[in-house]
Structure 1
Amino acid sequence: MTEETLVIRPRRAAWMSGVLAVFLVVVFAVVGILLRNSKTGAIFQLSDQIAMIGVGILLAGATLLFAMPRVRADAEGIEVRNVLLTRRFAWGDVLSVTFPDGASWARLELPDDEYYSVMAVQAVDRQRAVEAVRALRRLHQQAWT
């Protein structure tokens, strides 16, 4: 029997963070290039221009972190990678998969009134998020039966 592995990634957040990253690099590059020609009385050097472009690249890289969330779920459990951290839960440790009204993303309900956010399943993805939560609930239910 082949084991089904469900992989979920945010769509709109990834697209928006990519657009914003390109925008930041372009804006900071333009500002860096035009920095020497400003008539503010301050003296800007080549190093200042390079630093300005470097700041744009760093901000773009930080923005792209929001395209990183991912969920991998199978019959044994669920692996959740949010912006920086990855954590794996066995289905036996998960009480339910929920998406509360008004929430930005889904969450796993854990014992002792704890929750773990699932940033890969985002409200802005609308129907795709609904399908993802249903698929995660099916895997969770299969593990409990």
Structure 2
Amino acid sequence: MPDQPSLPVTFRPGRTRAVLHTLGAASFVVITIVALLLGGLSPGEKASFVFTGALFWGVLWLLARPRIDADAEGVTVVNVARSRRLSWAEIVKVNLRPGDPWVFLDLTDGTSMAAMGIQPGMAKASAIRDAKALRALTETHHSSPRASNTGEV
């Protein structure tokens, strides 16, 4: 079994976040400078340029939001637009198959949930390590007597 991180722990795509935040900040600065340097624009038009740059940065911030927060009680999966709290007992399996864009969690209700906080895109080795760590945490908490009352593992 792989080494387990101590709880609480947060899994997030670090390189992807860095690229998205850098791109957002750079785009905002460039658009703002262009707005200020363009002659003949009214203050309202310049403000609309700045607002557009801020809006673009906001969209990139949302794309950089995904993470998985694990603690003794369970995990909080934060994706682009939604977050969901799961107890350890609700997670049956942690999957990261070749070609998957992120980790998928198989749940006790028979559904599968995307957990975008672990993405192999820019850092495949890190994503595999994180997925194994989350899988180990899930297995450990399923094997503890208080983690599951259904008997399913």
With the length of structure 1 as denominator, give the TM-score of the two structures. Answer: 0.84
- What residue number does 1:20 align with? 23
- C-alpha root-mean-square deviation of aligned residues, in Å? 1.8
**Aligned equivalent of 2:14, options 6, 11, 16:** 11
Moved more, 8-17 or 108-117: 108-117
Equivalent residue, structure 2, for 1:63:
60
Amino acid across the alignment from 1:125: A
Question: Offset of 1:18 from its aligned partner?
Answer: 1.2
Offset from partner CA, 1:1-33 (integer Å, 9 cap, x none):
xx7222112111111111111221122113312
Amino acid corresponding to residue 60 of structure 1 in structure 2: W
Residues in 2 aligned to 1:74 and 1:139: alpha-carbon distance in whole angstroms: 10
**Per-residue deviation, 1:52:** 0.7
Distance, in Å, in 2 between the alignment partners of 1:120 and 1:16 is 15
SS at match of 1:95: strand
* Distance in structure 2 (CA, Å) of the matches to 1:77 and 1:108: 13
Q: Secondary structure in 2 aligned to 1:107?
A: strand
Aligned length: 137
* SS of the residue 1:89 aligns to: strand
Q: Which runs of structure 2 are paired with 1:50-129 in the superposition (5 Å)?
A: 50-123=47-120, 124-129=122-127
Residue of 128, 137, 142 corresponding to 2:135: 137
Percent identical among aligned pairs is: 29
SS in 1 for 2:117: strand
Counterpart for residue 40 of structure 1: none
SS at match of 1:136: helix
**What is the one-letter code of the residue matched to 1:76?**
E
1:112 is displaced (CA, Å) by: 5.0
Q: Point out the structure with the larger helix share.
A: 1
1:53 is matched by which residue type in structure 2?
V
CA deviation string 1:56-110 (max 9, x = no partner): 0121122112222221123432111112322111122111000122111111012
Q: Secondary structure at the match of 1:62?
A: helix
Q: Which has the larger radius of gyration?
A: 1
- TM-score for the superposition, normalised by structure 2: 0.80
